């Protein structure tokens, strides 16, 4: 009786939607988007393809569920600062941006898939979550309502572009050898003709020593400063 009970528990676990999506994320983390197939997933879960289609639908729907699960977890972990504190809207946007950056670092497949999802499915839950969390502080930043979409889109586009580029850089460097890869790149830059590439040669050392996460935050801060500077007169008027 006990073996049958354990078998029934295992079957219920395999056939749950949550377990299927969890297994899909594990596959994506291990080998990338190309590794996620219904056949591979059924082998991993010791089930049939019918169970996959029944619980999550097609492969594309499964991929979208994996993206939604990872992004939702990242955004749910971001604390919302007190709105009456000076600098709170900027802090909230930084926290959301860094939460997405860290999620893309943990899941290297996520950045490109997130960008594609926002473009392909602007009415989907992932797009709505990202835009809501980035766009909600716009009023507190002093941005007039007719500029909310433009300002929030600028931030979202930077986040997507920077995280995707960072993931591609990680793929280009040999595994576990990022420092060596950057050092070789810096040496190549420093060997360039100073007449043709004075700027590139000057920043070669900075490129070698840069930290991806710190650089990402600098970019977010730069965009935020541009947004607040553009709308500063309206913001001061609203406080008087």
Cα 190 to Cα 185: distance, rounded to the nearest angstrom: 9
Output the six-digit token pair for 157.
């586009």
Asked whether residue 43 is domain-assigned, the answer is yes
- Pick left, alpha or beta for residue 90 (phi over 0 → left; psi -120 to 50 → alpha; otherwise beta): alpha
- pLDDT value, residue 109: 94
Q: Are residues 40 and 88 in the same domain?
A: no
Q: Are residues 234 and 168 in the same domain?
A: yes
Asked whether residue 64 is domain-assigned, the answer is no
- pLDDT value, residue 153: 95
- pLDDT value, residue 234: 46
Asked whether residue 122 is domain-assigned, the answer is yes
pLDDT of the chain along its 240 residues, tens only?
A: 444 444 445 454 546 889 999 999 999 999 999 999 999 999 998 888 888 888 888 999 999 999 999 999 999 998 876 555 666 899 999 999 999 999 999 999 999 999 888 888 889 899 999 999 999 999 889 999 999 999 999 999 999 999 998 887 655 555 457 788 888 999 999 999 999 999 999 999 998 888 899 999 999 999 999 999 888 654 444 444
Q: Are residues 118 and 223 in the same domain?
A: yes
Q: Are residues 94 and 50 in the same domain?
A: no
Asked whether residue 193 is domain-assigned, the answer is no
Q: Are residues 110 and 146 in the same domain?
A: yes
- pLDDT value, residue 240: 43
Q: Are residues 125 and 225 in the same domain?
A: yes
Q: Are residues 108 and 131 in the same domain?
A: yes
Q: Are residues 78 and 53 in the same domain?
A: no
Asked whether residue 65 is domain-assigned, the answer is no
Q: Are residues 130 and 228 in the same domain?
A: yes
Output the six-digit token pair for 191.
């060997």
Asked whether residue 85 is domain-assigned, the answer is yes
- pLDDT value, residue 54: 87
Asked whether residue 134 is domain-assigned, the answer is yes
Q: Are residues 52 and 75 in the same domain?
A: no
- pLDDT value, residue 107: 95
CATH number at residue 155: 1.10.357.10
Q: Are residues 10 and 50 in the same domain?
A: yes
- pLDDT value, residue 49: 87
- pLDDT value, residue 135: 95
Write out the residue range of the structural domain in which residue 223 sits.
71-172+210-239
Asked whether residue 5 is domain-assigned, the answer is yes
Domains identified in the chain, total number: 2
CATH number at residue 31: 1.10.10.60
Q: Are residues 9 and 52 in the same domain?
A: yes
């Amino acid at each position: 009786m006990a073996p049958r009970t354990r078998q029934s528990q295992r079957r219920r676990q395999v056939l749950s939607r949550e377990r299927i999506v969890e297994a899909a994320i594990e596959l994506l983390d291990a080998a990338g988007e190309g590794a996620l197939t219904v056949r591979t997933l059924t082998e991993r879960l010791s089930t049939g393809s019918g169970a996959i289609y029944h619980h999550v639908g097609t492969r594309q729907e499964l991929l979208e569920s994996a993206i939604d699960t990872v992004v939702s977890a990242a955004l749910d972990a971001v604390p919302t600062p007190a709105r009456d504190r000076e600098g709170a809207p900027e802090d909230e946007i930084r926290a959301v941006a860094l939460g997405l950056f860290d999620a893309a670092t943990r899941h290297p497949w996520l950045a490109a898939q997130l960008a594609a999802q926002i473009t392909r499915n602007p009415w989907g839950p992932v797009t709505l979550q990202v835009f809501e969390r980035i766009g909600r502080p716009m009023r507190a930043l002093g941005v007039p309502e007719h500029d909310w979409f433009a300002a929030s889109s600028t931030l979202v586009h930077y986040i997507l572009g920077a995280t995707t580029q960072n993931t591609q850089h990680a793929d280009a460097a040999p595994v576990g050898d990022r420092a060596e890869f950057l050092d070789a790149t810096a040496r190549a830059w420093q060997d360039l003709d100073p007449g043709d590439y004075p700027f590139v040669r000057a920043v070669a050392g900075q490129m070698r020593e840069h930290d991806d996460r710190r650089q990402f935050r600098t970019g977010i801060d730069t965009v935020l400063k541009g947004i607040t500077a553009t709308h500063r007169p309206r913001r001061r008027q609203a406080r008087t």
